Structure 1
Amino acid sequence: MEHITSKWGVLVLLALSDGGSWRFSELRRELANVVSEKMLTQTLRTLERDGFVDRDVKPVIPPHVEYVLTPLGKGAARHLTGLYHWIEANQPEVSAAQRHYDEA
């Protein structure tokens, strides 16, 4: 649970949740302003170890690596996507509550 609910785990699973495969460089660009290359690599390795992500290395030069969600990863991503949309829809209410608290 710790790995898929971590800050980076959530972002990677949401990025991969479109159903397609992603090259490492595509993921790095998609998440460039949020996660470092080192953390992206570590997160992908952890999610692969846990069975949420498949890593496919193509036998070409230079190496071509693609990442895709496994069925287990797709299930987790569906739940995270729902939570993400709920948070997004309720952000104004959360911000108002924070302002109210800070003013008190």
Structure 2
Amino acid sequence: MSAGHTAVTAPVPDGPVIVCETPQDECGVRDVLDRLGDKWSVYVVVELASGIRRFKELQRAIPGDISQRMLTLTVRRLERDGLVKRTVYPTVPPQVEYELTEMGHSLTHLVKALADWSIAHRPAIAASHAAWDAAHTE
């Protein structure tokens, strides 16, 4: 216990929300975090929640400067995970469209909940940052 830590952590009243049977099990969280914890995947999911997008439409709609290569890697990973469907039309040049699968759409509710939580707690997090930074200036 650190010198500044004097409080005892209280148990969760109704028990933990997630319980891993073994440390190796990781409750399936690792796979989700590997996919959605990167910089671009959530942006792609959010944009595709609005409907089908062609590659360049998707690239322009994502905030920040995502490169063509990074967007290609991101949608491929999401496609491999079964969250995105890629359709190629035999035109010259080939037209490619992306859309969320049913499983991808089910993820949008979780992303929305996380965004709502972030918005609701933004002032408290900012205040915590300010207090911590003030206490730890060296």
The TM-score, its normalising length taken from structure 2, stands at 0.69
User: What CA RMSD, in Å, does the superposition of the two structures yield over aligned residues?
Assistant: 1.4
- Please list every run of 5 or more consecutive structure 2 residues that lacks an aligned counterpart in the other structure: 1-31
1:55 aligns with 2:86: yes
1:5 and 1:76 map into 2 onto residues whose CA distance is 14
2:110 and 2:65 map into 1 onto residues whose CA distance is 21
- Could you say if the C-alpha distance between residues 85 and 37 of structure 1 is closer, same or farther in structure 2, counting changes exceeding 3 Å? farther
In structure 2, the residue corresponding to 1:26 is in which secondary structure? helix
Corresponding position of 1:76: 107
Q: Is the 8 A contact 1:4 1:47 kept in 2?
A: no
* Ranges of 4+ aligned residues in structure 1 off by more than 6 Å: none
Q: Is the 8 A contact 1:53 1:70 kept in 2?
A: yes
Mean Cα deviation higher: 49-58 or 35-44:
35-44
Greater C-alpha radius of gyration:
2
Corresponding position of 2:73: 42
Shift of 1:98: 0.3
Corresponding position of 1:12: 44
The TM-score, its normalising length taken from structure 1, stands at 0.89
- Could you say if the C-alpha distance between residues 95 and 81 of structure 1 is closer, same or farther in structure 2, counting changes exceeding 3 Å? same
